[in-house]
Amino acid sequence: MPPALVDSHCHLDFPQLAEDRDAVIARARAAGVTRMVTICTRLRQLPQVRAIAEAHDGLFFAAGTHPMSVADEPMVTVEELTAIAQHPRMVGIGESGLDYHYTAESKAAQQESLRLHIEAARRTRLPLIIHARDADDDMARILTEEYRAGPYTCVMHCFSSGAGLAQAALDLGFYLSMSGIAAFPKSESLRAIFASAPLDRILVETDAPYLAPPPYRGKRNEPAYTVHTAQVGAEIFGLDYADFAAATCANFDRLFWKAAA
């Protein structure tokens, strides 16, 4: 059996994965990806996401409103999120965050939504899952302000921002998650950011169906391909693949305590 690995962030409810979802999950397990967290990005899609997690051993879910969807969805409430968090397979809050690349016009609403998600993470003790794009300064400021108001745990999902935001997150005790972007040939500066981070703060993910690592870049991503990102992670940290996989699994268990092995 290959070393166990966790895909800490994927979207198994998305239509690109719907037709052969069972086969996708089976391929992941054959590759050693024994656990997956599938992310609900709009609360109206929660029934489908929850059902996928309930139907498969080793599958868990997180729920929130994606920042790019904030303008099109009812504003989430802390009470909604804390109620959903009672489900045994609900293991994280989000993904939430800030995206000024495509949706800067809704930045005020995104910031309000982010603070509500942080409060839910605080109350439930579940990790906050953050999406950040072209919003490094505001993201670092809000995460820090809110942490000073009351601690919470967090992972910077699919981290591809600058070194300043990485350090701000690490200074708060947060985690950085490595996606297929870290394996792209031109991502030297991003790999350098990961290399400077403590190994015990690193997770791996696919963000499937997006951002497939080489040799599948440009094709549909799926959880089995976490292996290719983890192989690059092992090279970054100068470790054998099995040791890197074990380290990221231990990190996942520490942060996503409801999904711990």
d(CA 73, CA 46): 13
d(CA 229, CA 212): 9
Q: What is the pTM of this model?
A: 0.97
Token pair for residue 67? 């920042």
Instruction: Name residues whose C-beta falls within 8 Å of residue 159's C-beta, 6 or more positions apart in sequence.
Output: 132, 166, 176, 177, 178, 179, 190, 193, 194
Q: How many structural domains is the chain composed of?
A: 1
Q: What integer pLDDT is reported at residue 29 of this predicted model?
A: 98
The CATH number that applies at residue 122 is: 3.20.20.140
Q: What integer pLDDT is reported at residue 131 of this predicted model?
A: 98
Q: What integer pLDDT is reported at residue 47 of this predicted model?
A: 98
Q: What integer pLDDT is reported at residue 223 of this predicted model?
A: 98
d(CA 214, CA 246): 22
- Beta carbons of 7 and 223 less than 8 angstroms apart: yes
Q: What integer pLDDT is reported at residue 74 of this predicted model?
A: 96
Find the domain containing 118 and state its range.
5-259
- Beta carbons of 67 and 96 less than 8 angstroms apart: yes
Q: What integer pLDDT is reported at residue 33 of this predicted model?
A: 98
Nearest residue to 66 via CA among 48, 85, 92, 39? 39
d(CA 44, CA 195): 38
d(CA 250, CA 253): 5
Residues of the chain with confidence (pLDDT) below 50: none
Q: What integer pLDDT is reported at residue 146 of this predicted model?
A: 98
Q: What integer pLDDT is reported at residue 139 of this predicted model?
A: 98
Q: How far is CA 163 from the centre of its chain?
A: 18
Q: What integer pLDDT is reported at residue 172 of this predicted model?
A: 98
Helices (H) and strands (E) in the chain, counts: 10, 8
